[in-house]
Amino acid sequence: MDNQSISRTHNEFSEMYERNIDMVYRLCFILLKNTMDADDAVQSVFLKLFKHNKTFNDREHEKAWLIVTTKNTCKDILKSWWRSRRVDVDVLPEKTYWDNNEQQRDILEKLLRLPEKYRTVLYLYYVEDYSVKEISKLLDRKESTLQTQLSKGRTRLKADLGGIYVDGKPVQGNI
């Protein structure tokens, strides 16, 4: 391979990284609940992408591969011997990829307290704008199961928040 090919591949990888880093980090943070593990997982996901020199049909295929790989990488971290034997610091980072306003930090804190099955589904549905059908394919779950998880997750999140926020203030109503 000549230098031009290597450079092109590096440039393409850099563009792919810039396009997806926020989404991958947010998903890692939602699943792992702390910045150190999220940083490690992000690095692992993009290292896998680089090592396998993966090509995609389109950007949706790219995004889907990254979501599945991120989910699997986070599962591996959660199952690891090291993680199960260390003390977890349950504190939100000073700087996140989320907007630094009180409303979003409050929602994020409550979302992180939900069980993983609700966190992931709510994140993919509301933040990444995936449909139930698309999430079903990504997570290999039945659509009816996901609809139930969305409903139960919304109910639990709403209860934790005491309603929902509009213009920065909590109000009663549907999410």
**pLDDT at 24 (0 to 100):** 96
Query: What domains does the chain contain, in order, with CATH numbers?
Result: 1-91 (1.10.1740.10), 98-166 (1.10.10.10)
Among the listed residues 79, 97, 64, the one whose alpha carbon sits nearest the alpha carbon of residue 32:
79
Provide φ and ψ at 64, rounded to 5°: -65, -45
* Distance from C-alpha of 28 to C-alpha of 70, rounded to nearest angstrom: 7
CA-based Rg of the chain, rounded to a whole angstrom? 18
Q: Which residues of 42-53 are buried (b: 16+ CB within 10 A; e: fewer)?
A: bebbbebbeeee
- In order of 35, 53, 136, the CA distances from 41 in angstroms are 10, 18, 23
Do 31 and 120 touch, CB atoms closer than 8 A? yes
**pLDDT at 83 (0 to 100):** 52
pLDDT (tens place) for every residue of the chain, 175 residues total: 444 444 447 788 889 999 999 999 999 999 998 888 999 999 999 999 988 888 889 999 999 999 999 999 999 888 875 555 444 444 444 445 455 567 777 777 888 888 888 888 888 888 788 889 988 888 888 999 999 999 999 888 888 877 655 444 444 444 4
Among the listed residues 64, 51, 55, 71, the one whose alpha carbon sits nearest the alpha carbon of residue 20:
64
**pLDDT at 27 (0 to 100):** 94
**pLDDT at 101 (0 to 100):** 67
**pLDDT at 70 (0 to 100):** 96
**pLDDT at 147 (0 to 100):** 93
**pLDDT at 123 (0 to 100):** 83
| Helices vs strands, H then E, count in the chain | 8, 2
Beta bridge partners of 169: 166
* Distance from C-alpha of 32 to C-alpha of 45, rounded to nearest angstrom: 14
